[in-house]
């Protein structure tokens, strides 16, 4: 779990809604529109296609899967192609699993992981004040279509993350572009987004419960 890639996955999948509004024309999407929806949703499910362009590789890496968010603090990112992986954040803990094995991280003891997880929760909860403490925000809208650039203000994010550009329509995000300080970039395209998903108890257990849990789900 020493690689920063899982933390970038956290930041990327979390950013389906956030922003800071400039003066908007009548009828344009606003920051408050986005955050209001995120603050009241039962949950989010979205299919994604992720394309990583790395300086050390001639060919981009492509990944496909699904992201899930259940308020107030459950998040999962499941990839199915080209390999199966599972990243679950539940409160103060994170669990990551791939073909090489699985591991748990106590986020209270890892400041980098904690920072990403906190950002994830801020984005999904629609916490405007907390979001503005983390990022410099630039929001544009044309009707229901919008674009937002998030630039980290502080360490540890600003040490390896240049910015995140999000674009979408209404309450749903369609695309996210993550630019790292070293020039690597990750583009994520979202499809079949359900931004008002109501998770059943069975879904919660199947999606968010990890193999290390022994006392049943926390719902």
Q: How confident is the model at residue 9 (pLDDT cuts 50, 70, 90)?
A: low
Two tokens, residue 25: 């024309």
Q: What is the mean pLDDT of residues 155-180?
A: 86
Which parts of 63-136 fold into alpha helices (H)?
111-125, 128-134
pLDDT of the residue at 13: 46
pLDDT of the residue at 105: 76
Q: For the segment 68-126, what is each residue's pLDDT rounded down to a tens digit?
A: 988 877 888 899 999 999 988 887 788 888 888 888 877 777 666 666 666 666 776 77
pLDDT of the residue at 18: 36
What CATH topology corresponds to 5-208?
A: outer membrane lipoprotein receptor (LolB), chain A (2.50.20)
Model's pTM, two decimal places?
A: 0.75
Q: For the segment 46-69, what is each residue's pLDDT rounded down to a tens digit?
A: 899 999 999 888 899 999 999 898
Q: For the segment 201-212, what is each residue's pLDDT rounded down to a tens digit?
A: 999 999 988 765
Torsion of CA 202, 208, 210, 213, to 10 degrees: -70
User: Domain segments of the chain: what residues?
Assistant: 5-208
């Amino acid at each position: 779990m020493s690689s920063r890639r899982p933390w970038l996955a956290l930041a990327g999948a979390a950013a389906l809604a956030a922003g800071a509004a400039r003066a908007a024309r009548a009828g344009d999407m606003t920051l408050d529109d986005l955050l209001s929806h995120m603050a009241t949703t039962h949950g989010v499910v979205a299919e994604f296609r992720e394309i990583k362009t790395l300086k050390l590789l001639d060919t981009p890496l492509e990944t496909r899967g699904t992201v899930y968010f259940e308020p107030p603090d459950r998040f999962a990112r499941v990839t199915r192609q080209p390999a199966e992986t599972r990243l679950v954040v539940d409160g103060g803990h994170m669990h990551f699993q791939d073909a090489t094995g699985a591991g748990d991280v106590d986020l209270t003891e890892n400041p980098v992981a904690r920072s990403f997880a906190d950002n994830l929760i801020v984005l999904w909860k629609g916490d405007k004040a907390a979001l503005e403490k983390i990022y410099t925000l630039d929001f544009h809208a044309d009707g229901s279509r919008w674009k937002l650039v998030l630039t980290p203000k502080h360490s540890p994010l600003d040490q390896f993350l240049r910015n995140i550009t999000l674009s979408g329509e209404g309450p749903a995000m369609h695309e996210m572009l993550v630019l790292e300080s070293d020039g690597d970039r990750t583009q994520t395209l979202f499809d079949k987004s359900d931004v008002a998903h109501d998770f059943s108890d069975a879904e919660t257990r199947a999606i968010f419960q990890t193999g290390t849990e022994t006392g049943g789900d926390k719902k």
